[in-house]
Amino acid sequence: MENQFECPECGTVFEEGQTECLECGYKIRNYKLIAVLGYIFSFLFPIVGIFIGFYLHGKQQKNGKYVVVLSLVMLLIILLVPWASDINLNYYYSYN
């Protein structure tokens, strides 16, 4: 069942949309919303995305791993693009 998941505290199966475990009172956070935020941040502010990703990963959310990986890729792109354009510039000047 895709729309069911287990309480991380007591293992009771929830229906999606429940906000609290009926057995132990564990509050279910809206991890899907946090995951969406994580994906958005991974594009805009990858460093924030990494933190959100680790947070989700710590909560056993599989999206956490993807958010971390995506954030790292975006961070690499942000760091490498100016570096790569510098090389092109040096290449250009060395021939002119």
What are the residues binding Zn ion (CB under 5 A)?
7, 9-10, 12, 21, 23-24, 26
Q: Which is nearer to Zn ion, 21 or 68 (CB)?
A: 21
Surface-to-core class of residue 37, CB atoms within 10 Å of its CB (0-12 exposed, 13-18 middle, 19+ buried): middle
Q: Which is nearer to Zn ion, 21 or 50 (CB)?
A: 21
Q: Which is nearer to Zn ion, 28 or 69 (CB)?
A: 28
Helix axis angle, 31-44 relative to 63-94, nearest 10°?
10
Contact 27, 9 (CB under 8 A): no
- Least separation in angstroms between CB 3 and Zn ion: 17
- Least separation in angstroms between CB 11 and Zn ion: 7
Contact 63, 33 (CB under 8 A): no
- Least separation in angstroms between CB 62 and Zn ion: 20
